[in-house]
Amino acid sequence: AHVVSNADEVTVRLTDRREFSAKVIGSDTRTDVAVIKIDAKDLPTVRIGDHTKLRPGEWVLAIGSPFGLENTATAGIVSATSRAVAGETDVPFIQTDVAVNPGNSGGPLFNLQGEVVGINSMIFSRTGGYMGISFAVPIDVAMHVRDQLVKTGHVVRGRIGVTVQNVDAALAQSFGLDRPRGALVSSVENGSPADKAGLKAGDVILRVDETPVDYSFQLSSFISRQPPGDECTLTLWRNRHELVVKVKVAELKEPKGSRTSDAHASGEEGGARLGLVVRPLSAEEKDARGISSGVMVAAVSGSAARAGLQPGDIVVALNSRPIR
């Protein structure tokens, strides 16, 4: 999606040097997937693979046009098959060490069977160039988005109305879990499907249907792909026991306006012992996120930084007590 965003014209150039004008059918910024169409016949095609069969250590190949060098192939191995990236909650990225540079975005990631298992999307870099960490959108996520864009021109996502976070070793011990796993519910939106199903702050979601949840982003990714109106079975950990509830998925309404940048956060200093500088949330920010309380983190240091808090995070409760 970021390749074709704001483009006046899109041109597809084939390996035989033919060129076609393309039409953007639709794009989805949350997954960075876009669908374009050209009028042509007898085009070569690639086989679509199953990214769930990928394993860390497996060899993969990327093809793209880094720095304008067409049909460049680079190889590497899979580091992780379901990696969370800060600020991206809808995509369980494939992480590789394949050399990906500007111009590779939108290109295919192949397995050794010549099947496409991902779409190269972004890199981690301090310089703007390749540093050994690259990310690809799993092909099943891309195809799910493709189907919706072709059918309706936009993507519909599910939601249940919870804010979640990861469970670390200290939290797992305090909850009586055998190991760090699950998505810890930080807050439940009033009147949401989760609220109607009886979820509470402090619950740990361990499974959705039969799919285990090890990290909080896996819950967000799974729920977002459920059609609104479908019912999901959640296995919770509450008061050191498992509890099963059913939740009816609602439609996620995209908030209007862009995310507030922490560069403009000029709030009051507080919580010095935690190492946090926070500011109040405006009514619009609360409405956009579906929460009734909380403060925005503007700067982090000390124990808060060691615990993983980052500027832009919203602290909604302290020991289950809402922060207003």
Residues 6+ apart with CB under 8 A from 151: none
Active site residues: 2, 32, 105
187 HSE (CA, 13 A, CB side): 19
Please give the Cα distance from 161 to 195 (Å, whole number).
8
Mean pLDDT of 125-146: 88
Please give the Cα distance from 175 to 101 (Å, whole number).
43
H or E element, residue 280: strand 276-280
pTM (two decimals): 0.70
Task: Say if residue 259's pLDDT is above 90.
Answer: no
Environment class of residue 155 by beta-carbon count within 10 Å: exposed (0-12), middle (13-18) or buried (19+)? buried
- Residue 206 confidence (pLDDT): 95
Confidence of residue 271 (pLDDT cuts 50, 70, 90): very low
DSSP per-residue letters across 289-306: HT-SS-EEEEEE-HHHHH
Percentage of the chain modeled with pLDDT above 90: 48
Residue where the block lists tokens 């996120």: 289
Lowest mean pLDDT of 25-34, 232-241, 294-303, name the range: 294-303
Task: Say if residue 47's pLDDT is above 90.
Answer: yes
Environment class of residue 145 by beta-carbon count within 10 Å: exposed (0-12), middle (13-18) or buried (19+)? buried
Please give the Cα distance from 26 to 11 (Å, whole number).
16
Coil, strand, or helix at residue 309?
Answer: coil
Beta strands in 9-101 (DSSP E): 10-13, 19-28, 33-37, 47-48, 59-64, 72-85, 88-96
Lowest mean pLDDT of 18-22, 86-90, 182-186, 242-246, name the range: 86-90
- Residue 89 confidence (pLDDT): 60
Between these two residues, 322 and 254, which has the higher pLDDT value?
Answer: 322
User: What residue type is assigned to position 96 of the chain?
Assistant: T
H or E element, residue 204: strand 204-208
- Contact, 101 vs 123, CB < 8 A? yes
Mean pLDDT of 246-261: 64
Task: Say if residue 247's pLDDT is above 90.
Answer: yes
Confidence of residue 149 (pLDDT cuts 50, 70, 90): very high
- Residue 241 confidence (pLDDT): 92
